[in-house]
Structures are given as structure tokens and as C-alpha cells.
Chain A
């Protein structure tokens, strides 16, 4: 991992994304520093996954600019993905490879040495060693999620993008992954995470941003965002976006939006 510099690891200005008539993101400002555990929260359809896809160079924004590790997006998407680790929204390793084969495939595609040892280490970490002959299509959702996490960690990237990393993991492995991420942070890594598991997020995140209908409604540390009487992130979250229960969730359309991108 790189030694700390003052340049932000992730930077976005006036970021917007429109799908047809649906505004997924509008005017998002974001800055993530090296060594941060950054959490992006929001109700379903708030734009979290869209944000992650833009920042990993998978899709182009409709407005604004973004850069990751100093590389402009979406132009530098391939270079960004070469340097970072990504756990996508869905646990979807290739159906016809085994977990071990997939990890070795990841190493080869990324051009990194020692694929056998690296794969063995992560299979052991996730207790998949005795299931290494099982095809991914025949794995449980939890096992597939473990394979995707291992694939993101295996090349020891300086930045991790995690979309619901704890989903489908049993409590034992939720704890194990949390411990690893803490160590990773101590080693100089940076994490950008989207999650609905607020209890875990509260323990890990050093700074958070809450999205609602594609717009940032709050950014800061948990202490900064909490109001008197609020116990934790769940209370903050409910205050900031809880109104959606009455208003109806999800991204808005340009026709019905208060403001458009």
C-alpha cells in the first residue's frame, strides 16, 4: 500500500446521474481521505450503488467530475479497477469455476504473482479450503459472498469499494471480516462502503454520508451528525431519511422532482 499523501483518495464534485427520466444522483460532493473508513448510507434506491459504479469507472456520470487515486473517471476506469478491490452488490462469482480457481483467475487477470499461495490464504481465511472443489454455482449465497470478498482482498489493494459486504455472511464471518478491515485500515488502506447494516457500520466507519433520493443530506462523523437524545447511527438515519416511509422510497423522476440534474 502507498504511504499517506495529502491528495484525497476519492473526490467528486457536482456528480449527477440520470437514467431516462429517473434521477439517480444529483449534485453530489464527496471527498474521502487516505486511511478513512467511509460509509455511504441511504434507503433503497437512494443512489448508493450508482455512486459506487461511477467511482469504479463502470458507468459515466451525467454531470460533474470524479477522480479516484488521482485518476479521472470514467476515463481511468480500467486503471482504477487495477488498483482497487471491489465487492459488487450481488454475490456473483463465475458459475463454472471453483472458489480456488476463481481466485487464481483473479490473480492472473491482475497480473500478480503467487496465485496459489494467495488463493490458499484466503480460502483458509474464509474456511473454504475443504470446499475448494465446489463450483461457485453450487455454493450457498454466503459462500459466494466469501469468494467475492476474497477476490477483492487478494491483491492487497490500497482502496476497497464494498457494496453490502456483510450480506449473507453468518455472524462469525461478519466479525472476522470486520477484524480484517480494521487491520487493513491500520495498514494504511482506505474503505468506501455502502451498507444497510447500521450496527456494523457504526462500529467501523470513521465518516459517513447519507443519501436521500440521489442527494447528499448529511456528511460528517457520527458524533457530528448525532443530536441530543440520539443513541446511534440508526437514530440519525431514521431522522434523516425516515420521512421516506410516508413519502415513498426510491429515486425520483425528473417530472416529479423538486430539483433536477
Chain B
């Protein structure tokens, strides 16, 4: 099995490199290491706002979510990649052509994912913390212990995600029932305080108590999830072919007002509906917002601390999470067939931008209005909506300008990612800071926010105009 593991490591690295280039892929862990070093050095300033145990809990929750996401992407992403690159291209599909069972390749795939992502993300973060020791005076053993416990939490998350994915391939009903069960458990811990979060993820309990039983439980549960996943996974899970009624003309007719983009918008809409991406997109958008709201709620209930999230803050967040939607829109299907059409890449980018606005405007407005209602924050709603529209249009145009039709590909490129980080983090920080500084700044805050929105609108206008220049020479073909 070691030969397959080695081959899968190479495949993963080359896949990541194909998104950008070898150099950028190698730079990614280095960038994480630098970020971790910077955060560690800034800890004295941060710890006046958030305590160290809170930070460690946050790090564990992040590792848990990261593990869950990597596991989920292994399946969701595979479906997309196969659609984009063709069937039986990846080593995971070896069972179709080689004398090896799918269960075995699945197990190796799990091991590869676990080791690869610990190696390229958690390890560089740890190295960054170790490098900060001359300034922070952390104990080496404490840092290594944190790495070990975070790796355990990540393992717990990824194992559970693989387990749930295996369940999903067997029965959607059982999957839904188990998901509801997990949500109930989380709520019982966070809202009702029936038990601590350490009981849901024992590695967190071990982090704070040092109880060896918690360590043992975490390891045993992780291995159990993984073992069950391997046992339950179906040898094959082909998607049955379906027959549908022609809907294209009707869909294209609905977008006739958009002129030349109408036919493309009609096709985009059908893609969204038939690939069931509409629900995934909505979930991908709403989930981070729900997590954000839940996080605040969780801090307030469990740690008796709260961050003052106003409607203006949520308005900004909604805008920034919109990037996820644009990314999803670019991942539904390959676009090579457009190379036979009388269009250029900027035309399709614009069609995606229009679809983005149509898709998100309603959800975003609804969310901000809802948060205003929940927090009895109606007074700030108009400003919150202004912030929401400015940031969401700005963020999606920045993303489209930097990544064109290959958002997931280019966001793995260190140079693009750096530009993206600068262009997004600066306004995000500005909006977040201003939304939280109302008590201190008063009406000046409103003025400052208006200026930020104006700057964002100007930047949006400039970048929108430059999309044509930047992407006109780009091909629709992957190898082009």
C-alpha cells in the first residue's frame, strides 16, 4: 500500500501545482509559517482582548472545521474534478482498472489527505510558533504539545467527515438523521451547557485537562470513524442518468433583458439548478454567516464574553463571504466548449458577475435584515445595507479581476493570493474596526464608513473596466 500512498502524495502535490505552479505550491506552507510567526509575535496585543485559553479553543475549533472541510471536499471536490477532468483520471479511481479494491484505495486516500494537510498546514503553523520563541518565550514542549493536540483535533474532524461521506453514499436519510443528531449535540453543549465541548471533541478536553482518557478517547473515536468509513464505503457510487424536460428556451427568455449575455445567463441558471449547486451555493453562503453568529453566541454563553457584532459588521461580512459564491459559480462545470463560441473570457466573467448579483442580493439583504431584527438594531440597517452592497460588489469584482473563470485555481497561486489578501483584508479590517468603534467614534464612524464605501465603489468601477484587458487573451481551454 506504500506505493499507492507515495503515488497519491505525488498526485496531490501535482494537482495543487497544476492550480498555479510548483513554486507557488511550495511557497504556501512558507506563507502560513510567516503568518503564524506574525500572529504569535502580536499575541501580547491580542491577549488584551481575547484570553489565551480562548485562542487555543478557537484554534481547536478551526482545526476541527478544517478537518471536516478537507474530508467533505474529498468527495464534493472529487465529483467536480471528475466532471472537469474526465472520469478515472485520479488514483482514487484505480479500482476501476487495477486489481485493487476501492476500499483499499479509499483507506490510502484517507491517510494521504490526513498526512498531506497536516504536513502543509499544521506543521508550518507550528514552525512559525517555534520561530517566535526568541520573542514570545513559548516553551518548546508547549508548542509541540499544541501541534499534537491540534493534529488530533484535525484527525478527529477529517475522520468524522469521511465517515459521514461514506454514510451519504449509502443512505441520504441516515446521513440527514445523523447530521441533525450532531447539530443537537452541539446545541446541547453550547446553549444548554449539558456538557462541555470537550465531550464532543475529546482532544479539546485533553488540551485543557491533560486527562489521558480524553487522549485515548480522541484517538479511539478517530480510528473508529475512519474504520467505519472504510467498511461502509460502497465499491462504486455512480450517479444514475436522468431524463429531463427541455427548459433552456424558457430560462434564456427570463434573462432576455440582459441582451447579449441573456443566452449565457440562461445556461448558467440551468447549470445551477440541475447540478443542485443552487442549494449548495446557498448553504456555502449561509453556513459561514450562521457559524459567525453561532460563534458569537457560543462565546457569550460558554465563556461569558461577547464581541459587539452590529448590523453594519454583518453587512460587511455578508459582502466578504460572497467570494465563495463566485468561486462556486466557476466550479459547476468545465467551460472548454466556449472556445467554439464567438465570445471571449471577459464576456463569461460578466455573465457570472450578473448571476452572482442576482443570486446573492436577496439572500444577503434577507440576512442583514434578519440580524437587525434579532439584535433589535433597526437604526443601523440602512448603513448596514450600504456596506453590504459596496463590499459584496467590490469583493466579487476583485475576485473576478484576479482569478477570472478559475477562482479555485488562481487562489492557490501565492502571488494572486497575496494580492487578494491585501485587497480584501484592508477593507475588511476597516469595516470591522469602524463597525465596532461606534461608541468611541460616534457620528465620525458613519462618515468614515461612507468614505470607505465610496472608495470601494471607485475601486470596483476601475477593476470592472480592467477585467476586459486582463482576461481578453485568456483561453477557455485548461491546457491553453
- Residues of A whose CB lies within 8 Å of any CB of B are 53, 56, 58-60, 74, 77-79, 81-82, 85-88, 90, 92-98, 100-101, 104-106, 108-110, 115, 132-135, 137-138, 148, 151-152
Contact = CB atoms under 8 A, between A and B. Distances in A.
A60 B342 CA distance: 16
Interface string B363-397: 00000000000000000000000000000000000
A104 B275 contact: no
Q: Which 6 A-B pairs have the closest CB atoms?
A: A138-B241, A82-B342, A101-B248, A108-B263, A133-B243, A86-B340
A163 B271 CA distance: 27
Interface stretch (B115-123, B136-144, B469-477): B469-477
A78 B343 contact: yes
9 contacts: A60-B473, A81-B340, A96-B270, A98-B248, A100-B246, A104-B248, A108-B262, A109-B341, A109-B343
B305 interface: no
Interface in B400-444: none
B263 A105 contact: yes
A105 B270 CA distance: 11
A98 B246 contact: yes
A90 B335 CA distance: 12
Interface string B349-372: 000000000000000000000000
A91 B289 CA distance: 40
Contacts of A92: 334, 336-337
A135 B342 contact: no
A58 B263 contact: no
Contacts of A135: 241-242, 244, 274
Contacts of A82: 342
Given A94-B337, A109-B264, A135-B242, 14 more contacts: A53-B475, A56-B340, A58-B475, A59-B480, A86-B340, A95-B275, A97-B267, A101-B248, A109-B343, A134-B243, A135-B244, A137-B83, A138-B241, A152-B340
B250 to A, nearest CB: 10
Nearest to A93: B337
A58 B341 CA distance: 10
Contact of B342 (A101, A108, A109): A109
Nearest to A137: B83
Given A53-B477, A77-B344, A88 B339 contact: yes
A105 B271 contact: no
Contact of B473 (A74, A78, A100, A108): A74
Nearest to B473: A60
